[in-house]
Amino acid sequence: MGKVVILGDKAINDGVSAHEEQVSNLDALHGLVNEDLKAVNRVILERMESPVALISQLAGHIIASGGKRLRPMLTLSTAKMCGYTGRRHIDLAACVEFIHTATLLHDDVVDESDLRRGNATANAVWGNKPSVLVGDFLFSRAFQLSVADGSLQVLDILANTSATLAEGEVMQLVTSNDTETSEDAYLEVITAKTAALFASACRLGGLVAERPSQEQDALASFGLNLGIAYQLVDDALDYSAAEKDLGKSIGDDFRDGKITLPVLLAFRRGSLQEREFWKRTMENGEQNENDFSLALNLITKHNSLDDSFDRARHYGSVAKDALGLFKDGPEKHALQDVVNFCINRAH
Amino acid sequence: MGKVVILGDKAINDGVSAHEEQVSNLDALHGLVNEDLKAVNRVILERMESPVALISQLAGHIIASGGKRLRPMLTLSTAKMCGYTGRRHIDLAACVEFIHTATLLHDDVVDESDLRRGNATANAVWGNKPSVLVGDFLFSRAFQLSVADGSLQVLDILANTSATLAEGEVMQLVTSNDTETSEDAYLEVITAKTAALFASACRLGGLVAERPSQEQDALASFGLNLGIAYQLVDDALDYSAAEKDLGKSIGDDFRDGKITLPVLLAFRRGSLQEREFWKRTMENGEQNENDFSLALNLITKHNSLDDSFDRARHYGSVAKDALGLFKDGPEKHALQDVVNFCINRAH
């Protein structure tokens, strides 16, 4: 996430301030929800305050360190596409971002990461303890915001999504280091840990607009498939030589033994000898200096990176079709562009 | 928590199966809510299930490892005292226990504890990662259970309590290793991290029974003061020679540099030389073999343990008086006995 990508010879930053060809995809979205997004950021700043200074500092660090605010923008833009003119989507978008941020904080503890979006992670700066606890605090804040919204339907969606997220994270832990993880199991993990929140972020837009359930389902389906595509690309980029050429850090998943689609495919398509390589490096964690280069070679040899992007395109197509029920207009086009953005942000 | 205490020459276990003099305090409570508590345990077992086996295993480990179920019993007994005859208190009591258990899991990660209630902690068995994530899962389950209850008032109480708990934990982290922590700051920490959930557990009993707000407030005040007394005693027991004589592990807080009332009082009452000792051992974490014995001597010299128990008795009295509004009966007596139990479980 938050990677800088060169397409041709253009440096493209996928952050809020980005320009250039591919990012114009998110620019349309930004243009549409810009004012609402500012309101969301105000809610976020206001609600991450606490009399306990360390909470505000640490929450400020991770929230201010940017990110695309993709999930809240999905709530804002789907609400807009559904003709919603009220204010509920603002707090709910903030709520979605809080849940996401809480997950990031706990993720970084679990992954023992030192960098996130090119910045030091909270756990690298403050240690694991505050990261766990401030994650809990932000999660509680999300809970409070959704209670303040006052809709049991909203609460039901967010409670279920939170449980699914946690299940997804544990599933990922269980499949970690297991080179025989099936593609289905991998999909189940990324659906739970990433796509479920994308789905809920989109469903909430239809819900506040009081659209019929089939439209809410369509929005959730859009979000779900977009989220799967997003995570597929994210995981593939960690093995992308193009990223490496940019001086970006790649290979984190390899070093952590986190089994993602590029490895999973290379393992299944590989010779017995190649499988021994994956087992040694990712299951047993015995990695030598040149192993990551060798891993990249095997992934290239078996076309697993390109095929990962193909899989992402498949889910991207399903996402776009899920919007078929909605009438054409700038919001729908902007949402379709999000799909393009998520898929084309690399290679 | 979960300590075995000898009074005179009787071994007393404060767990569910306990007998003997002091524990008769909780026996009255158990007798009153026994059937409801079984129902709560069924809900807990049912709702900690997940298709992800590791979640059920780890949640099962911490939940089955016992504990007194004190918090859910407070919800059950306050509801009963208020004449409630429905079923909502069962799920809400389970919800309270899930929030408590999630906090324990994250606490043990934060404290790097290896033992809890005499058993290996989840993080010692499975590592920190699953403990963080299964804590999140249980917290989400609590969220789901409270949404299923369907009352925004309940949701509001639990969301606020969760945020307070997290704030309390972070405050504790911030005051940790600071020997100059004031008694007020210490009280603020234990109020947030422990007493707030006791208060909500009790308030919920009155809420489901639809008692007027002043009765709900009285129940919350009972819980809050009981919770403060409970934590004061818990913290004092960690420096109790009587506990040590029983072969119980004491001195965890000393080794962790966690500043609690016995130390706080000994520091303030101590000579400059004694303060240097506390600073070296608890602020700078430089501890030698005999330092804990020396700490116990200083605490005894300044009467800080007895005075901690006195403080606890004060809050216990306030708790009992908070029940003044309710008519006499077995439930009220059982709740008053809980106060005695919490205070008399040692020394």
Q: What is the mean pLDDT of residues B48-55?
A: 88
Rounded to 5 degrees, φ, ψ at B88 are -60, -35
Query: Does the beta-carbon distance from B136 to A106 stay under 8 Å?
Result: yes
| Separation between Cα atoms, residue B56 and residue B298, nearest integer Å | 45
pTM of the model: 0.87
Contacts with B204 (C-beta within 8 Å, 6 or more apart), sequence order: B75, B78, B79, B89, B92, B93, B96, B154, B157
Indicate the SS3 state at residue B262: helix
Could you give the CA distance from residue A288 to residue A284 in angstroms, rounded to a whole number?
Answer: 12
**B175 CB-near residues (< 8 Å, 6+ apart):** B181, B185, B186, B189, B259
Contact of A204 with A92, CB cutoff 8 Å? yes
| Average pLDDT of the residues in B119-140 | 81
Spatial separation of the C-alpha atoms in residues A119 and A115, rounded to whole Å: 5
Q: What pLDDT is attached to residue A7? A: 36
Percent of chain A with pLDDT strictly greater than 90: 70
Q: Is the model more confident about A250 or about B246?
A: A250
The arithmetic mean of pLDDT across residues A121-128, rounded, is 71
Q: How many residues does chain A have?
A: 347
Residue B15 within any structural domain of the chain: no
Does residue B202 belong to any structural domain of this protein? yes
Contact criterion met (CB < 8 Å) for A147 and B152:
yes
Confidence of residue B9 (pLDDT cuts 50, 70, 90): very low
Count Cβ atoms below 10 Å from residue A268 Cβ, excluding itself: 16
Is residue B108, in this structure, part of any structural domain at all? yes
pLDDT greater at residue B12 or residue A333: A333
Distance from CA of B288 to the nearest CA of A (A): 25
Structure tokens at B21: 């003099």
More confident residue, B277 or B128: B277
Count of domains for chain A: 1
* SS3 at position A4: strand
Which residue in A132, A158, A170 is closest to B106 by CB distance? A132
Confidence of residue A118 (pLDDT cuts 50, 70, 90): low
pLDDT in tens, A46-95: 998 888 888 888 888 877 776 789 999 999 999 999 999 999 999 999 99
pLDDT attached to residue A116: 58
Domain assignment of residue B332, yes or no: yes
Of A135, A150, A171, the CB nearest to B152: A150
**DSSP β-ladder status, B119-120 and B115-116:** antiparallel
User: Taking 60 as the threshold, does the pLDDT of residue A10 lie above it?
Assistant: no
Residues of chain B with C-beta less than 8 angstroms from the C-beta of A156: 144, 147
The CA radius of gyration of chain B, in Å to the nearest whole number, is 20
Over residues A242-271, the pLDDT tens digits come to 777 766 778 989 998 999 999 999 999 999
- pLDDT category at B111 given cuts 50, 70, 90 is low
d(Cα B112, Cα B128) in Å, to the nearest integer? 8
Domain CATH number, residue B267: 1.10.600.10
* CB spacing of B136 vs A166 below 8 angstroms: yes
DSSP for A52-99 reads: SHHHHHHHHHHHHT----HHHHHHHHHHHHTT--SSHHHHHHHHHHHH
For range B240-251, the mean pLDDT: 77
Report helix angle B128-149 to B152-175, nearest 10.
Answer: 150
- The answer to whether position B91 is within a domain reads yes
Q: What is the mean pLDDT of residues B126-142?
A: 89
Residues of chain B whose beta carbon is less than 8 angstroms from a beta carbon of chain A are 50-55, 102, 106, 109-110, 128-130, 132-137, 139-141, 143-144, 146-147, 150, 152, 155-156, 158-160, 162-163, 165-167, 169-171, 173-174
Q: What is the predicted pLDDT for the residue at A173?
A: 87
Helices (H), A150-212: 152-175, 183-190, 196-208
Q: Do A129 and B110 touch (CB under 8 A)?
A: yes
Q: What is the pLDDT of residue B118?
A: 59
> Looking at the domain assignment, is residue B147 inside a domain?
yes
A152: which chain B residues are within 8 Å (Cβ-Cβ)?
A: 147, 150, 152
B313: distance to nearest CA of chain A, Å?
A: 29
Q: Which domain holds residue A71?
A: 4-344
Mean pLDDT of chain B: 88
CB contact (8 A) between residue B129 and residue A173: yes
CA–CA min distance B214, chain A (Å): 23
Long-range residue pairs from A86-92, CB within 8 A, at least 24 positions apart, any chain: A86/A208, A88/A149, A88/A208, A89/A36, A89/A204, A89/A205, A89/A208, A90/A36, A90/A39, A90/A40, A90/A43, A91/A43, A91/A145, A91/A148, A91/A149, A92/A145, A92/A146, A92/A149, A92/A154, A92/A204, A92/A208
Q: Three-class SS of residue A125?
A: helix
Mutate to test the interface with A, among B113, B133, B188 (most CBs of A within 10 A): B133
Distance between CA B86 and CA B208 in Å, rounded? Answer: 8
